Structure 1
């Protein structure tokens, strides 16, 4: 009986809240589907920006995909519709020709008039009330929670996998239900997340100031674990009304200000440095398992063909494969989330500063410069800026990971891709142009963080013009590379084995 129960529960439900998670979870889904698992993705948030493209990817791979707002067919109704569809010759035969259906005597006009008058109030109600309701964030939030729970019940997964966990997310509700049902849950982190990131992103948002309104003040006094302090401000992790709801539903994480602090069964830890971080944040040791990340295996695969890939890229972009390559992960526009005064007034000025500094490297040093726009960036806009500096022909669109493997120097703005470069022993210049002040990569000896354009330009020239300075950074990075990645090519296998073990153990229990 236990074995039969295990066999029946062969679905993995992967929950996605933002596009970065999908990339990592998709690799797991593909690997798991090649075993004995069926795959279902839940895009849990209303307004998920990459819904169309990511749904298309799921459809192409034969994975189920669900999102808030979609119409879910009732199983009985779907079966009935399929039965009635059989004689219609795959859409070539209309239903009106089946069973004697055809044009009938029309409904009398007076009956139509009465019908229209009867349903008119419904249209007015929708016009003046329902649309406003849909635009309200709280309504959408509650709907996303309920929809996520509905998909969990519909798919009946053997295990649920998240890319992250944060307070108030649908993940918390699903985890709560999974723990009640004995279904294991797993976080496969897609990025570096720290309390510093939380306070830096929220300290300038008035909704997160304790003293801004009465609900925040009451929530802060009743539930002090939601409170934090930064830059002279008393902050609250979520608005007071939301905290009341989460506390009432018992969806409060152990430590609201620590990303991934949750009641999931396991966290698949990417590397030794992250294992040390989780330990410093007092995560239960039983919750942590060192597996490596799927991008580690992608790096291993890319490194095997790096010479060939570098030659093809050099031919396409007309570069010299014999020179050292500086690869730049082009910064995204984050001005919408920063209320702090920054060095540049807008994204356009920032782009010009980056392009000018990189153009100087291309013109004055022996390094080749390659630019990798972010997937969410407007490539046309980036190309227009770079064309003013003669860099528009140096845009690589074949994936940042592959280009990092070809790089001798990596440049980025507080990006999680910096971990890839560190694990490969590649020196990194981290230009924190949005002045977040993150210290995530300070432990890596070959990473230098700068916050102003003049320092950025100076550091670029120091490492690209002076071989001694560059090699010193290279040596420091190579010494710590092993702490930032696991490059044995078995990380995905370890994650899949963990999934199998968790699902089997929980099913037996």
Structure 2
């Protein structure tokens, strides 16, 4: 690994290109940063390097995409991607040895370089799941080590799914050992609020194959410690399939937004005569007996994590000889202040290329029911004493931007922004402003005018090209999706699943119900061609209701290519609404989660609605009355210049900014 890093650095020096590190913390970040990567590769002056700063769904697929573009990637995080891989079932164990240095070293404090030699194993690792970070109190204690030959049963592994669900899993062993017996699980657990928890026993063969047999038990946990027992009958199965031994997996699934604690007291199995205990209970003190221990332990862990993150970023800067750091946002949730401060210490400037529009109301709406962000009177006093503006009044009570241990740790280590509730309020040198409307927005938020440089956005050039070639683009859509070429186009961008993050105000009980209703309304639209563009985090099954009704779904298409071609854009509080405004297209903004954002309140061509009846009525009006749609389009064109610079020169302006920011060599 060290040889590959030295080779990378030597080749960079030989070509005399300036390395630029692009930081990515979620999938939508990677989508927008990919535009920057392609620009820098085409320009030839810079060497782009992608830094993945935390785990998220489909992380390794994005790593693979970066590799396919010929870009070196680094991964650092405060949580291990995988450790003790030999005891991990499934694809993690299969590829742990194949990845550089194993996975024991992939955590904050080390830099994990991904290269083409290891791209396939790393790409296979995701398999739809990623490691998740436990919330406060979420560290699971497993008690009762018995004989040494049974200790391999004692490790839980916490995983988080793309759906926002988390799970704890344990490999119990080969199915043959338990076949025909009754397995009894005894668990002592609690939650920070009532949680519906699914206990699942699965038999599977690994290698990404689906389970061959699954049994589920559902329990409702209260905020108090609850003792529960679940019995499972293990049926006999074929000993081998595809040459693989079947494994027995015990999994506990719970919502990712909840904090879950558990002590696994005992697992016994009975083959007809007596039972055998695999895990014995532990009489030691429980976490609930010492409620003050966990927050301080969390604080100490955060301090250690951020300290190691500083070391990791410094090592990455040295290995790449970076000349600039690019961020899609400056956000305390990702601790972006740490790499910004480390970059300043090494003479490396930071540039924010905003990918969305946000106010303090956005995180407050998402986090308002999370008790970790409700500090109470004592917590509020502590946050006020530590400095920083961590508190925000919302819904009649005070909220903290981060849970108290994380906020104090970030403040202590110098990575906290001046105003944590305001996006991009940290110490980045430049904020590359997208357009005049966003410049006004940033000034209203109180950001310093000296840091605001109006550059435009790379997607503006995509929009401009689409508007110039609108007829050709519409013909391409007609061929690709069978859309009628002689009808106006309705482009629909359904929201991601927000039920697990502030979706309690939504009138739909589940995301599937929401998508089903949305598809029904679109199917009733007449005299329009209809195309659905998926959110980057969506999974294919969410679009089955559209396909069943004959509505085309543009999977894999860049939304910025589609927006210029439409005549009506239907979305839900999406930042892509700015693109439709810039193109002069009317927008129906269905605030399905009732967040109440006011980002587009002054734009007459954006019609915001709440509630299914209002959505259906406004959809009917805009699609059945051509005069109404034409008037909205006229009003939208009056605002379009403020919301987008569609002159095709955003790439030129961004490259000029990077050249100005990297004109001086780094100090030794």
Secondary structure (helix, strand or coil) at the match of 1:354 reads helix
| Counterpart in the other structure of 1:313 | 477
2:554 to 388, 396, 403: 396
| Counterpart in the other structure of 1:420 | 579
| Counterpart in the other structure of 1:193 | 358
Cα 1:375–1:132 change in 2 (3 A) is closer
2-structure distance, mates of 1:471, 1:417: 21
Secondary structure (helix, strand or coil) at the match of 1:322 reads coil
| Counterpart in the other structure of 1:155 | 320
The TM-score, its normalising length taken from structure 2, stands at 0.63
1-structure distance, mates of 2:313, 2:151: 27
CA contact 1:185–1:265 (8 Å) conserved in 2: yes
CA contact 1:270–1:293 (8 Å) conserved in 2: yes
1:372-383 alignment runs, 5 A limit: 372-383=533-544
| Counterpart in the other structure of 1:464 | 623
1:386 to 519, 522, 546: 546
The TM-score, its normalising length taken from structure 1, stands at 0.82
| Counterpart in the other structure of 1:251 | 415
2-structure distance, mates of 1:124, 1:146: 38
Q: CA deviation at 1:239?
A: 1.2
1:147-296 alignment runs, 5 A limit: 147-211=312-376, 214-215=378-379, 217-223=381-387, 225-296=389-460
Q: CA deviation at 1:336?
A: 1.1
CA contact 1:184–1:506 (8 Å) conserved in 2: no
2:590 to 416, 427, 431: 431
CA contact 1:45–1:144 (8 Å) conserved in 2: no
Secondary structure (helix, strand or coil) at the match of 2:340 reads helix
**Bigger mean CA deviation after superposition, 160-169 or 61-70:** 61-70
2-structure distance, mates of 1:440, 1:235: 22
Q: CA deviation at 1:277?
A: 0.9
Instruction: Please list the CA deviations of residues 474-503 of structure 1 after superposition, one character each: whole Å capped at 9, or x if unmatched.
Output: 111000000000011010111111011101
1-structure distance, mates of 2:32, 2:571: 20
2-structure distance, mates of 1:132, 1:51: 16
1-structure distance, mates of 2:667, 2:405: 40
Instruction: Please list the CA deviations of residues 238-296 of structure 1 after superposition, one character each: whole Å capped at 9, or x if unmatched.
Output: 11111221121111211111011111110110000010111112211211100000000
Q: CA deviation at 1:169?
A: 2.5
Q: CA deviation at 1:305?
A: 2.8
Secondary structure (helix, strand or coil) at the match of 2:336 reads helix
Cα 1:484–1:360 change in 2 (3 A) is same
| Counterpart in the other structure of 1:338 | 502
2-structure distance, mates of 1:123, 1:163: 49
CA contact 2:313–2:342 (8 Å) conserved in 1: no
1:19 to 19, 24, 27: 27
1:301 to 449, 453, 465: 465
Secondary structure (helix, strand or coil) at the match of 2:525 reads helix
Cα 1:451–1:167 change in 2 (3 A) is same
Q: CA deviation at 1:399?
A: 2.8
CA contact 1:45–1:67 (8 Å) conserved in 2: yes
| Counterpart in the other structure of 1:87 | none
Structure with bigger RCO (C-alpha 8 Å, 6+ apart): 1
Cα 1:499–1:122 change in 2 (3 A) is farther
1-structure distance, mates of 2:152, 2:649: 55
Q: CA deviation at 1:507?
A: 4.6
Q: CA deviation at 1:317?
A: 2.5
Could you say which structure has the higher helix fraction? Answer: 1
2-structure distance, mates of 1:27, 1:504: 23
Cα 1:508–1:358 change in 2 (3 A) is same
Q: CA deviation at 1:186?
A: 0.4
CA contact 1:191–1:416 (8 Å) conserved in 2: yes
CA contact 2:28–2:536 (8 Å) conserved in 1: no
**Bigger mean CA deviation after superposition, 309-318 or 443-452:** 309-318
Cα 1:124–1:189 change in 2 (3 A) is farther
2-structure distance, mates of 1:51, 1:310: 33
